[in-house]
Amino acid sequence: MVSAVRSTGRPSERVSYPLESVDYKLAETQADKEQLYRLRYRAYLREGTIDPNAGQMTFDKYDEMPNSWNFGVYRDGVLMSSLRITVSSPEMPDCPSRGVFSDLLEPEIAKGRVLIDPTRFVADPDREARCPELPYITLRLAYMACEYFAADIGLASVRAEHQAFYRRVFLHKPISEPRSYPGLIKPICLMAVDYPAMRERVYERYPYFRSSFFERRKLFERGQRPVEAAPVLNLPQFPFAQATIAPRS
């Protein structure tokens, strides 16, 4: 069992406590993957983000890539949400956000930077109201990935109405105007954060985002060389740190 925590998400409320009924599970079998694909379909359809399809599943080529991890988040054994983590690096650069924002991301990859690209964040539309802390519990996976892979940049490809959450919690900044994403009806924007520079500020506000090396290794190890901790270096800020969203025409 991987422990998570419960939080109201309000900056003024720092108290957190273990939520032992929550478990992160990597989808490794086809049956596990299809369960997540069906959850995506139901969530996207309820939001009006996709058109109906006969298979009632949502998936793409990135789900089977060796640098992607698909997780289900379970509470009391019940699937509540899902998140896909893709790690982009010079050795294996392809990731979902690069497919849409290549002009912004390829220069960073060419500089040798490691990007964590969390996508396909969905929650069970019939259960999410019962678990208001679910976004924090689910996106904690992205923070663990940033730590494990010594990320330089944390990404978020989100709809415009969700930007405020990522800006407040993870200190992301918008770096693009909305663009179309294959298979989705609603456009998305790209946000980014300098992870080494901002992680301690996030940990101070949300200490339950911290994780042990053992927990991270259990979730992400696939023969890659794990990293004990992402060093905080006094490097020049990359362009994302100062970028602002371009006005829509």
In sequence order, what are the residues at sequence separation of 6 or more whose Cβ sits closer than 8 angstroms to the Cβ of residue 55?
none
Q: Which residue has the higher pLDDT, 230 or 170?
A: 170
Q: What is the pLDDT of residues 37-50, one digit of tens each?
A: 999 999 999 999 99
Contact, 52 vs 5, CB < 8 A?
no
Q: And the tokens for 213?
A: 């090396």
The pLDDT of residue 16 is 46
Q: Which helix (H) or strand (E) holds 206?
A: none
Q: Which residue has the higher pLDDT, 8 or 174?
A: 174
For the chain, list the domains and their CATH numbers.
4-8+18-221 (3.40.630.30)
Bridge partners (DSSP) listed for residue 6 = 17
Sign of CA dihedral 238, 241, 151, 26: negative
Q: What is the pLDDT of residues 134-167, one digit of tens each?
A: 899 999 999 999 999 999 999 999 999 999 999 9
1 pLDDT tier (thresholds 50, 70, 90): very low
Distance CA 240, CA 58 (A): 30
What does the angle CA 129 – CA 147 – CA 132 come to, to the nearest 5 degrees? 10
The pLDDT of residue 123 is 94
The pLDDT of residue 166 is 95
* Residue 187 reports pLDDT greater than 50: yes
DSSP letter (8 states) at residue 245: P
116 pLDDT tier (thresholds 50, 70, 90): very high
249 pLDDT tier (thresholds 50, 70, 90): very low
How many other C-beta atoms can be found within 10 angstroms of the C-beta atom of residue 113? 16
Average pLDDT over residues 13-28: 68
What does the angle CA 191 – CA 196 – CA 198 come to, to the nearest 5 degrees? 60
pTM, two decimals, is 0.82
Q: Which phi and psi angles does 66 have, rounded to 5°?
A: -70, -15
> What torsion, rounded to 10 degrees, do the Cα atoms 24, 28, 29, 35 define?
40
Bridge partners (DSSP) listed for residue 88 = 115
Q: Is 112 left (phi over 0), alpha (psi -120 to 50) or beta?
A: left
Q: And the tokens for 233?
A: 């270096």
Distance CA 174, CA 166 (A): 9
Query: How confident is the prediction for the chain on average, in pLDDT?
Result: 83
**Which SS3 state, helix, strand or coil, does residue 181 take?**
coil
The pLDDT of residue 120 is 96
